[in-house]
A and B are shown apart, each in its own frame.
Chain A
Amino acid sequence: EPEVTQTPSHQVTQMGQEVILRCVPISNHLYFYWYRQILGQKVEFLVSFYNNEISEKSEIFDDQFSVERPDGSNFTLKIRSTKLEDSAMYFCASSVTGYSGNTIYFGEGSWLTVV
């Protein structure tokens, strides 16, 4: 069964450092997402991406965050200058379509620890 894959599974970084989290969405999917989950809390929407541009972002997704689809398969989340509060599990997800209540499929997550 096709799946969303994410790397790295776990990254520890110093505060103020840049981090790039990578994702390979399911191959025929056109919509891509990043969600995050702070330990013990709910899964929160960060951003959606379609046709090489951000289609929607949350208030969490400030200027420190950026997303990119550098080639035909990868989808990345960059955090420019990490803060302690960025420590969380970051989930990439993808879906075939965007609006119509279709299923989104999550990867296994990248656990980011900022020290």
Chain B
Amino acid sequence: GENVEQHPSTLSVQEGDSAVIKCTYSDSASNYFPWYKQELGKGPQLIIDIRSNVGEKKDQRIAVTLNKTAKHFSLHITETQPEDSAVYFCAAKKTSGTYKYIFGTGTRLKVLA
């Protein structure tokens, strides 16, 4: 069935370093890939997304890359700050035939000051 694998489950980086979180999806019909940040006690908040007709998208310190052939997509955070500490979820969705997002298992990012 549909599945999204996410790695690593936890990631600790020093403030100012980069963080990379990787996801792999199973359904080749997926063509929309959002990333959500979830802070403690809050709901997931969209931070960046990418559609399958694009290989890379950047928004300030955050970037996402997509390799459709390999069915991989990654989140890159540069110059990490303590406020980047949170749980990050990737998700995949087909843009027709379903309303459902398939989420990854989450990555707990800790940025050490």
Q: Which residues of A are interface residues toward B (Cβ below 8 A)?
A: 4, 6, 31, 33, 35, 41-45, 48, 50, 55-56, 58, 91, 93, 98-101, 103-109
A31, A93, A101, A109 — most chain B CB neighbours (10 Å):
A101
Asked, given contacts A42-B89, A42-B106, whether A56 binds B100 with beta carbons under 8 Å apart, the answer is yes
The count of chain B contact residues (Cβ–Cβ below 8 Å) is 27
Q: How far is the CA of A108 from the CA of B104 in the complex (A)?
A: 19
Nearest chain B residue, comparing its CB with the CB of A92 = B43
Q: Are B95 and A101 in contact (CB under 8 A)?
A: yes
Q: How far is the CA of A21 from the CA of B25 in the complex (A)?
A: 31
Asked, given contacts A4-B43, A105-B46, whether A99 binds B103 with beta carbons under 8 Å apart, the answer is no
Other A-B contacts than A43-B101, A44-B103, 14 sampled, CB-CB below 8 A, are A4-B43, A42-B89, A42-B104, A42-B105, A43-B44, A43-B103, A45-B101, A99-B96, A101-B95, A103-B49, A104-B101, A106-B45, A108-B41, A108-B42
Q: Are A99 and B95 in contact (CB under 8 A)?
A: yes
Q: Are A107 and B43 in contact (CB under 8 A)?
A: yes
Interface string of B60-97 (1 = CB under 8 A from A): 00000000000000000000000000000101010111
Q: Are B95 and A109 in contact (CB under 8 A)?
A: no
Shortest CB-to-CB span from A106 to chain B, Å, is 4
Q: Are A103 and B46 in contact (CB under 8 A)?
A: yes
Of the residues A41, A58, A98, A104, contact of B105 by C-beta under 8 Å:
A41
